[in-house]
Structure 1
Amino acid sequence: MSEEKKLFKVTIDNITVDVEPGTTILNAARMIGGEVTPPAMCYYSKLKNSGGKCRTCLVEVAAGSTADPRPMPKLVASCRTTVMDGMIVKNITSERVLDARAGVVEFLLLNHPLDCPICDQAGECHLQDLSYEHGKEGTRYEFKRRTFKKHDLGEYIQLHMTRCILCYRCVFTADQLTNKRVHGVLDRGDHAEIATYIEKSLDNDFIGNVIDVCPVGALTDKTFRFKNRVWFTKPVDAHRDCSKCCGEVQLWMRGDEVFRVTARKDEWGEVKDSTKGGPGWICNECRFEKKDAKDWTIDGPTQVNRHSVISQGHYVNVVKPKETLPDVMGGRGPKLLMNIHTVSEVNRPEIELSKIQGPAHSDDFKNSLDNGK
């Protein structure tokens, strides 16, 4: 009979949870969920060695463990600090944490351009959410911002380095999903940038996943660029038989048109595990080349986190308010006072304009008495 694995008790913002040894504070907080969970811009559970760079997940350890209840003198990165039995952690209940997090957000925004109105990432940008929830109203930075020219990283990906926060996620993704990584971080300090040095093309079958892991609008899909706003599209889950990847994706549709294809993501903005087991990374063929609804089997609307602006208009199981007009009128429906087709001298009465396929043509508005003139 196998021995039961001992669990550690950790208390985060006065909520206690049992976790396995070796669990980080961040993952323990994610088991609780809600506002207890610290934000993370560089940590990605599917990528080895990620985390520890952005410092947005700083927390205060008020008691190290039951054996050693002394507090840790400094704030620690919750994505890199493992729990101990009896550890007490403060996140949103600590003024030190909230002040430090506001400072980190200010640093991240020092060189970040204020181009949310034209950025394709707007509406699903983690930095937008972070600055709204933990940032300050203004900035004290008065110097010229760092700028870079845009780079085309192959046929499908564009790099807007000015927006990059150097989270390294795309570097880890290319290193762990592709056979040979050709891009990385060049230079140091304020001159550090994500680049391929001699502007090579990123053409591996799975390199499109760097778009999904980017928390800001630094890496964008050129096939979707400036096509639509994400909150105007409807995300639906879909799948297809693919020999390269799991084939389980999220289609972003408006009407019957597929504007873009991405991997399915969880509430933390990370790629979900596929139903077949393993991470749900998708290949370039599924992402960039299958933009027709008939290429996919639609599973249903995506369960969108209501915290996101994308969820507007896409709520599931919402009851439509009852129509009160028939009750007021004794059960009768509203009476049509005027049929525009009978009085209009512009519209042709035999044509229903709402049923015209495509945009209306001038011929559709000519009266039959005009005899085509």
Structure 2
Amino acid sequence: MSDEILLKVTIDNITVEVPAGTTILQAARKIGGDVTPPAMCYYSKLQGSGGKCRTCLVEVSKGSEKDPRPMPKLVASCRTTVMDGMEVKNITSPRVLEARAGVVEFLLLNHPLDCPICDQAGECHLQDLSYEHGKQGSRYEFQKRTFKKVDLGDYIQLHMTRCILCYRCVFTADQLSPKREHGVLDRGDHAQIATFIQKNLHNEFIGNVIDVCPVGALTDKTFRFKNRVWFTKPVNAHRHCDKCCGEVQLWLRGDEVFRVTARKDEWGEIKEASNGKTGWICNECRFEKKNLADWIIEGPTNVNRHSVISQNKYVGLVKPTETFPKIMKGRNPKLLMDIHSVSEVNKPNIHLSQLERPAHSTDFNQ
């Protein structure tokens, strides 16, 4: 029997029991749904992350059973631990909704509205955040700050204009690589992610900064401008790799592998691998293994219907049966609507339904 002490916390009138030391955000994720505050900088797999974007602000209406006084200001749920008897308001608090809309507006001050050409479109956390928690317009009327695109090695491109300074890539490089070569330079509105004297990022696991980036600031150069994510089909696959877990997500169009990423959970964070460790993947698996024969396909990824990537890819979808063949005793409707002999559109010797290719202009009467 476990001697672990459980604390009761109520979030938006839903009570849950969590171990001591759990943050409000982690407790809300245990409940799930709209009760969970959004997070742009917090990443449970990265030590020290959180407390920078302020999108996860919540209202603590009751501190604890021993001290029921409310906290006077909104607090960052990713950095505030729960107390026994604590009561928290997220979507039920007008203060939180108004503050979150202001944070979204602030994050979008310098962010370019280039979603139609951004590779992150369709899986961008900032897109979801602005749609669900932002307002229709912006009051910002001044010129936005801009930066030149920088190649961080052979595989990664940095588009600093899109960056929201969440620090996730810095923590990833610091905790996965033996020597971090990039970080935040300058201060205030001049702050930027950069490398020391334009150095390239050379490390076997540096490609993971692409997966943790919540916006399109760090992109995969091998996938850049090649396709839209909602036109590709995500499937789970694995291979034997002596550097990483080898468990990945392939993004296919037909039999062509357009890109390789780590597997992600419902919060957009990298999943745990079968060995119990975080499923970070190496550069070889991510950038160099682009042939379907390199991988063992496990099956389609179960994508949340909330995502645009899930379009036409529902797992276990039951299609309604066709009633026409039943009514007409198995006869195909094409046989009943065959107007080939009387049509003057296509050539008499061409049967369009029997072509094993798309129809061309040469198949029709001019």
Q: Same fold (TM over 0.5)?
A: yes
What's the counterpart of residue 242 of structure 1?
Answer: 241
1:310-350 superposed Cα distances (whole Å, 9 cap, x missing partner): 0111101111122122244344221431459x985498779
1:57-99 superposed Cα distances (whole Å, 9 cap, x missing partner): 0000000000100000000000000000000000000000000
Q: What stretches of structure 1 move > 4 A for 4+ residues in a row? A: 342-353
Amino acid corresponding to residue 108 of structure 1 in structure 2 = L
What's the counterpart of residue 233 of structure 1?
Answer: 232
**1:40 and 2:42 are equivalent in the alignment:** no
Q: Secondary structure at the match of 1:18?
A: strand
Q: How many residues align?
A: 360
Q: How does 1:46-65 map to 2 (within 5 A)?
A: 46-65=45-64
Q: Secondary structure at the match of 1:16?
A: strand
What's the counterpart of residue 91 of structure 2?
Answer: 92
Amino acid corresponding to residue 169 of structure 1 in structure 2 = R
Q: Is the 8 A contact 1:154 1:202 kept in 2?
A: yes
What's the counterpart of residue 213 of structure 1?
Answer: 212
Q: How does 1:73-112 map to 2 (within 5 A)?
A: 73-112=72-111
Cα distance in 2 for residues equivalent to 1:347 and 1:114: 53
**1:354 and 2:356 are equivalent in the alignment:** yes
**1:154 and 2:153 are equivalent in the alignment:** yes
Q: How does 1:133-172 map to 2 (within 5 A)?
A: 133-172=132-171
CA distance 1:349–1:335, change in 2 (3 Å): closer
Q: CA deviation at 1:37?
A: 0.3
Q: Is the 8 A contact 2:340 2:351 kept in 1?
A: no
Q: CA deviation at 1:151?
A: 0.2
What's the counterpart of residue 253 of structure 1?
Answer: 252
Q: CA deviation at 1:5?
A: 1.2
1:196-228 superposed Cα distances (whole Å, 9 cap, x missing partner): 031111110000000000000000000000000
CA distance 1:335–1:306, change in 2 (3 Å): closer
CA distance 1:346–1:45, change in 2 (3 Å): farther
What's the counterpart of residue 6 of structure 2?
Answer: 7
1:283-311 superposed Cα distances (whole Å, 9 cap, x missing partner): 00000000011100000000111111101
What's the counterpart of residue 370 of structure 1?
Answer: none
Question: What TM-score does the superposition give when structure 1 sets the normalisation length?
Answer: 0.92
Q: Is the 8 A contact 1:157 1:221 kept in 2?
A: yes
Q: Is the 8 A contact 2:340 2:348 kept in 1?
A: no
Cα distance in 2 for residues equivalent to 1:328 and 1:131: 50
Amino acid corresponding to residue 192 of structure 2 in structure 1 = E
Amino acid corresponding to residue 72 of structure 1 in structure 2 = M
Cα distance in 2 for residues equivalent to 1:290 and 1:350: 40
Cα distance in 1 for residues equivalent to 2:254 and 2:151: 30
Amino acid corresponding to residue 356 of structure 2 in structure 1 = S
Q: Is the 8 A contact 1:346 1:366 kept in 2?
A: no
Q: Is the 8 A contact 1:248 1:264 kept in 2?
A: yes
Amino acid corresponding to residue 32 of structure 1 in structure 2 = I
Q: Is the 8 A contact 1:182 1:200 kept in 2?
A: yes
Q: Is the 8 A contact 1:57 1:78 kept in 2?
A: yes
Where does the alignment leave 5 or more consecutive residues of structure 1 unmatched?
Answer: 368-373
1:20-61 superposed Cα distances (whole Å, 9 cap, x missing partner): 000000000000000000000000000000000000000000
CA distance 1:8–1:350, change in 2 (3 Å): closer
1:335-368 superposed Cα distances (whole Å, 9 cap, x missing partner): 431459x985498779964359xxx999xx699x
Amino acid corresponding to residue 148 of structure 1 in structure 2 = F
